[in-house]
Structure 1
Amino acid sequence: MEQKYLFVAVDAALRAGEKILSIYNDPSSDFEIERKADNSPLTIADRKAHETIAGILKDTPFPLLSEEGRHMDYTVRKDWRELWIVDPLDGTKEFIKRNGEFTVNIALVREGIPVIGVIYLPVKQELYFAEESLGAYKLSGITSLPDGVSVDKLIASAVRLPQPYSRDRYIVVASRSHLTPETEAYIHEMRQQHDNVELISSGSSIKICLVAEGKADVYPRFAPTMEWDTAAGHAIARAAGMEVYQAGQDVPLSYNKEDLLNPWFIVEKKRVNH
């Protein structure tokens, strides 16, 4: 059953990516427009991606919470045991800068815990996908689902996460657009604890994927994010043996809260006392 919904989410993410790229690659698109201005290419890409995803996920039994959709009041949402949490286009600044570091994020959340996650990078044709019992995977060079493909075949052609990267540095991944003083203080603290600390910057939910993949050791986020920014990455991280902890606590982020704003968090390997 879970495999079926993972497959649906992958299909939705790839199709949304195709819609986004048709706008992103249009030479007449001008991204020097005020963010989210009506009918800007960005807004159109957001909306087209949302419509594509919503159209596919409506055939599942679960309600949808999307950044671009209508946000149901908590009096309705609180009774949702399972729901999709979606960001049709994560990485606004990256989209406008045309650096390719934007993503499509789709998660299935059960009882506040993300159990399925799909993140697609349309420009780089990279797909991260996970289901808690199957594990986390990365597939490169994919733009659509071939006819007759199954989740098993997808997994067979993907690499399992995390990958074994050997290195002599402790790698911190941080936001390209939101490096706060608190984050800088955390990085300074890591430099006291580790001999050789390297900082890498990235946009959108790719940062969580880099930790899940094993390319980075930790991702501290001491700046605002919403549930749709992290739910898909959180599912991928969990399935790869990582966790997204509330900063300063041993408690993971939870979802479908009354307030959809996330607390500050740290993505790292699951702590041994858990």
Structure 2
Amino acid sequence: MIEKLLEISIAAAIAAGNAIHDIYTDPLADFSVEHKADNSPLTIADKRSHEVIMSYLEKTQIPILSEEGKEISYAVRKEWSTLWIVDPLDGTKEFIKRNGEFTVNIALVENGEPTLGVIYVPVTRMLYYGAKGVGSYKVEVSAATSMEQLYQNAVKLPVAKQHEGFVVVASRSHKNAETEQLINELKQQHGEVDLRSSGSSLKICLVAEGSADIYPRFAPTMEWDTAAGHAIALYAGRQMVKKSSEEPLTYNKEQLLNPWFIVR
């Protein structure tokens, strides 16, 4: 069953990514930004991606929690032992800046644990995926002509260590005193550390694939920001734990805000 759901979610992510990319590369596209109640930007691409993903996932008859449909009450959600958690466009700010570092995130969560995750990068056409009992992989979609070929070309994560020294990946816009303190502690343990920045859920993928050693996030995130990356990290043998307790993050909570966490 997990293999079939993985195939559906990969197809959904790629189709949604293609829809986003069409808007991103259209010289006549309207890059005007609406604002949601929390003042975060919402573009036409968010909406288009959401519609495409829903057209795939609704066929599974598994309930869906999406950033674009987050008003579903906990009274309803708490009855869901299994659900999809979706961010149709993670890194909207990166999209507006046109730096290419935005993703489509789709996760399957069972009893609070992410058991499947797909992250697709529309600009580079790089796909990351992971599932319980399957493992985690990455593959360049443009080199595949079918789902079978996509699986054949996929590289298992983590790959051999791709860097020298100790690498910390961090958000460009959320570095604070707590993050600086951890970086200083890591310098004492490992000597000089290499600090790298990246957008959206790509930071989690960098740890999962072995390009970075740790990603501390001591700033607000929502469940749809992390669920897919958490699955990919988890089935690549990585940990994604709360800063406060070292326990794994859980999903479909009453409050959808994540605690501060560390991926390593």
TM-score class, shorter-chain normalisation, is: over 0.9
C-alpha offsets along residues 93-137 of structure 1, whole Å, 9 cap, x if unaligned? Answer: 110110000000000000000000000000011000111111000
1:185-200 aligned at under 5 Å gives the runs: 185-200=181-196
- The number of aligned residues is 261
Q: Look up the equivalent residue of 1:29 and give its one-letter code.
A: A
Q: Which letter maps to 1:198?
A: D
Task: Identify which of 155, 160, 164 aligns with 1:159.
Answer: 155
Offset from partner CA, 1:151-209 (integer Å, 9 cap, x none): xx433211000011154410000012222221122111111111131000000000000
Matched, 1:43 2:43: yes
Task: Quote the Cα distance in structure 2 between the aligned partners of 1:36 and 1:203.
Answer: 21
How big is the shift at 1:141? 4.1
Unaligned 5+ residue runs, structure 1? 269-274
5+ residue gaps, structure 2: none
- CA distance 1:160–1:17, change in 2 (3 Å): same
Check 1:166–1:157 CA distance in 2 against 1; reply closer, same or farther (3 A cut).
closer
**What's the offset of the Cα at 1:81?**
0.6
The 5-angstrom pairing of residues 108-147 of structure 1 reads 108-142=108-142, 146-147=145-146
Equivalent AA in structure 2 for residue 252 of structure 1: P
SS in 1 for 2:142: coil
1-structure distance, mates of 2:15, 2:36: 22
Note the C-alpha offset of 1:69.
Answer: 1.7
SS, match of residue 242 in structure 1: coil
- Superposed displacement of residue 86, structure 1: 0.2
Task: Return the TM-score normalized by structure 2.
Answer: 0.94
Structure 1, 247-256 or 3-12: larger mean CA deviation: 247-256
Contact map agreement 1:163 1:213 (CA 8 A) in 2: yes
Which has more helix, going by share of residues?
2
- Residue 240 of structure 1 and its aligned partner are, at CA, apart by 0.1
Q: Which residue of 1 aligns with 2:241?
A: 245
Match of 1:214 in 2: 210
Contact 1:101/1:203, CA 8 A, preserved across alignment = yes
SS in 2 for 1:14: helix
RMSD: 1.8
Following the alignment from structure 2 to structure 1, what is the Cα–Cα distance between the partners of residues 2 and 32?
41
Give the superposition deviation at 1:70: 4.6
Of residues 28-37 and 3-12 in structure 1, the stretch that sits farther from structure 2 once superposed is 28-37
Answer whether contact 1:94 1:100 (CA < 8 A) is retained: yes
The percentage of counterpart residues that share the same residue type is: 58
Aligned partners of 2:77, 2:209: CA distance in 1, in Å? 32
